[in-house]
Amino acid sequence: MMILEESLKYNGLSVGEAKVYLATLELGSATVLEIARKTSLKRPTCYLILDDLKRRGLVTVLPKSKKAVFMAESPQQLIEQLNVHQKKLHEVLPVLQALQNRGKGRPGVRFYEGREALERMYVQEIYPTKKIHFFGSSILNFSRAFPGLVDKGLWQFKKNSTFVQEIVSNDNEDVEYTRANQTKNHQIRVLPRGNQFLSDNVIFGNKVAIVSLRSLFMVVIESEEVAETYRTLFQLAWRGTKTIPSLTT
């Protein structure tokens, strides 16, 4: 019964409406008292819900009965109502799209906090992008903040043939990471000694992500202008980095 209630909730019914409709459907025809007992809801609550369901055409009151007796309409009625709602949504869709396009010139700024939220952003939004630029703190710091996430990224890049340019620190771990993982599609360079980016920074599509590995928060700016500016800054930094020979060369 819980599964049926969840399904009805996804189709526009509240928890109470789902309970009352299912109880009426199962009882065949019933008084408010019988429905209240079946659902464990109070009678006044059932009256209010039944009135709403009646207005929506999901229950009817049987005529010529001394007490109000309710009967559920066919579940097919739910499908018909969904079709009506879908048709109305399609009618206003052009207006909604026009509103969206009107605001496209404005940058979108999103904030994420916590390890799970940040990992989800990397795996679901950043890593699937076809072209990515990374410049950040050490691989060791990143791995400490997100255990196993580096390997997930490397696997996803190979799977999707992603073009990646990455600037890492000059620690021993970063140098070994560079030797082991750079390819034609994944170009990695290290910063000169004594230089370091304290945050992890990603340019992907028309977005820029700035990540604090210490405090575990991420700010994502969605703006073509900002993304192109950061790409230019990345290329300027790229010229001042050091190439490490690959283990395969």
Look up the pTM and report it: 0.58
Token pair in block for residue 16: 């109470």
pLDDT band at residue 7 using 50, 70 and 90 as cut-offs: low
Q: In the prediction, which pLDDT does 82 show?
A: 66
C-alpha–C-alpha distance, residues 56 and 11, integer Å = 13
Confidence band of 238 (pLDDT split at 50, 70, 90):
very high
- Give the integer Cα–Cα distance in Å for 152 and 150: 5
Better pLDDT: 78 or 179: 179
Please state the separation of Cα 116 from the chain's center in Å.
Answer: 12
User: What was the pLDDT predicted at 153?
Assistant: 93
Q: Does 200 have pLDDT greater than 80?
A: yes
Backbone φ/ψ region at 216: left (φ over 0), alpha (ψ -120 to 50), beta? left
Lowest pLDDT segment from 86-95, 108-117, 132-141, 149-158: 86-95
Distances, alpha carbon 81 to alpha carbons 2, 12, 32, 96, 165, in Å:
22, 10, 25, 22, 51
216-227 residue pLDDT tens:
999 999 889 999
**CA count, 13 A, side-chain hemisphere, 84:** 8
CA neighbor of 135 nearest in space, from 104, 164, 168, 90: 168
- Let me know whether 48 and 122 are in one domain: no
Q: Are residues 141 and 34 in the same domain?
A: no
Residues 6+ apart with CB under 8 A from 26: 38
Q: What is the pLDDT of residues 39-57, one digit of tens each?
A: 888 888 998 889 888 888 8
How many structural domains comprise the chain? 2
> At 178, which amino acid appears?
T
Least confident of 14-28, 94-108, 109-123: 94-108
pLDDT exceeds cutoff 60 at 105: no
Q: How confident is the model at residue 137, as a pLDDT?
A: 77
For the chain, the first-to-last Cα distance in angstroms comes to: 63
Mean pLDDT, all residues of the chain = 84
Residue 99's pLDDT band (cuts 50, 70, 90): low
**Dist. CA 2–CA 148, nearest whole Å:** 37
Do 197 and 239 reside in the same domain of the chain?
yes
* β-pair partners for 61: 70
- Phi, psi at residue 188, to the nearest 5°? -125, 135
Q: Each residue of 14-40: pLDDT tens digit?
A: 788 888 888 888 888 888 899 999 888
Kindly state the average pLDDT of the residues 91-107: 61
Quick one: 37 and 147 in the same domain? no
List the one residue out of 57, 55, 64, 59 whose CA is nearest residue 20: 59
Residue 150 maps to which CATH number? 3.30.870.10
Q: What is the C-alpha separation between 97 and 228, in angstroms, rounded? A: 25
Bridge-based pairing of strands 69-72 and 30-31 is: antiparallel
The answer as to whether 81 is a domain residue is no
Q: What is the pLDDT of residue 102?
A: 56
Co-location of 68 and 115 in the same domain: no
Residue 1 has pLDDT above 60, yes or no: no
Nearest in space to 132 (alpha carbons), one of 164, 178, 168:
164
Domain boundary among 75, 100, 128: 75
